[in-house]
Amino acid sequence: MIFLDAAATTPVRREVIEAMFPFLTNQFGNPSSHHELGELAATALEQARAQCAAVLGAHAEELVFTAGGTESDNLALKGIALARRAADPTLNRILISAVEHPAIVESASYLRRVHGFVVDVVPVDASGLVDQGAFAALLESSRPESSTADESQASSGGVAVASIMYANNEVGTVQDLPALARLARAAGVPLHSDAVQAAGWLSLDVRELGVDALSISGHKLGAPKGVGLLYVRSGIHYEPLIHGGGQERGARSGTENVAFSVALATALGLQEAGRGAAVGRVTRLREDFIERILREIPTALLTGHRSRRLPNVASFCFPGTSGESVLLELERRDIVCSSGSACAAGSDEPSAVLSALGMERAVAQTALRFSFAHDVTGEQLRAAGDELIAAVDRMQRLGGK
């Protein structure tokens, strides 16, 4: 089997298992306990936090361990929006891009439905890049330009928080985050970014990026499912989503998952250490793969930006086929990829991301995404290319069924 769905998840690295194992067995203490076992756990937790902070160029106290990228996104968007509006009731708006992960889209929808926020969606171009002019205008405007009829009845006001994904999980397009952060900073608006797909492939230095909050997820990096991280810059206040014993400096109550926090720190450090070499090698392999598919399947359409994309993502549409049918045919041939975001699996609706890029429904439903791990080989991608070309040809000859 050739696994080309690393954007959905990755296997847990052996080094990660070894690092976390003691905290699942003999060093099982609760970090809030004031005895030796508890103190060992607390020390390990803070060491893990410091390791992550070093990769992000952040202060350790600016980091919160969570249960994954979805929780980190929820905590950032809801927490900052609610805290900012509590301090200033005129801050009644939220900005998100048209290509955000469902964790951001649904969090914004919740804030609109339950708390009365106005949600503005920042458009993107056909490659998935955010329209910086539109973003700047929405940051500055007193009334949302993209409000729906019912939203337009809400009181207009300032922007509480903006969220722009660093790198898209479906098409791989990478945003010019520093430029967007400068616009947000000039308008006095905190900018959060979902960096789940970027982690391990792009710099996460929050000082260079200029963001005020940033989310990552462990299982995209070789850590277990069920652990994530949220960075929030000092001075940015946010409401917790989970209340209780006040762990994580009051940001996320509940007994901390020391083993998984250690796992995330270990995985993040390993990915960062190998990032430079992996990016160059995988980018070359990705380009060879893309060029071959576009050359040998004349109807293939590359989705996302041609050059501003993640090193490990190649995504296509194949008009005249069914994406799901090609996906199943490839699996029969021992090639594992995806038809888009794993978080939207099972939906008959076309990808919201591809729709935002202006793609017709029928074409969007033919999408396939190939996403690679750091150790992907040229031989694997050549074999996958052979099978993809054959699978698409077979489906097109069968009339796309």
User: Active-site positions?
Assistant: 343
Phi, psi of 200 (to 5 degrees): 90, -15
SS3 of residue 174 by DSSP: strand
Contacts of residue 400, defined as CB under 8 A and 6 or more positions apart, other chains included, come to 320, 321, 322, 325
| Beta-sheet pairing, 335-336 with 2-3 | parallel
Q: Pick the closest to residue 32 from 247, 235, 212, 232 (CA basis).
A: 247
Phi, psi of 143 (to 5 degrees): -135, 130
Q: Using CA atoms, how far apart are residues 166 and 158, in angstroms rounded to an integer?
A: 24
The token pair that represents 194 in the structure block: 């979902």
How many other C-beta atoms can be found within 10 angstroms of the C-beta atom of residue 247? 19
Kindly state the DSSP code that residue 128 receives in the 8-state scheme: S
Q: What is the end-to-end Cα distance of the chain in Å, rounded?
A: 24
For 338-377, the DSSP string reads BSS-GGGTT--SPPHHHHHTT--HHHHTTEEEEE--TT--
Long-range CB contacts (< 8 A, 24+ apart) of 358-365?
Answer: 358/126, 359/303, 359/317, 362/319, 363/301, 363/317, 363/319, 364/317, 365/322, 365/323
How many other C-beta atoms can be found within 10 angstroms of the C-beta atom of residue 170? 28
- Which amino acid, residue 4? L
The token pair that represents 6 in the structure block: 């690393």
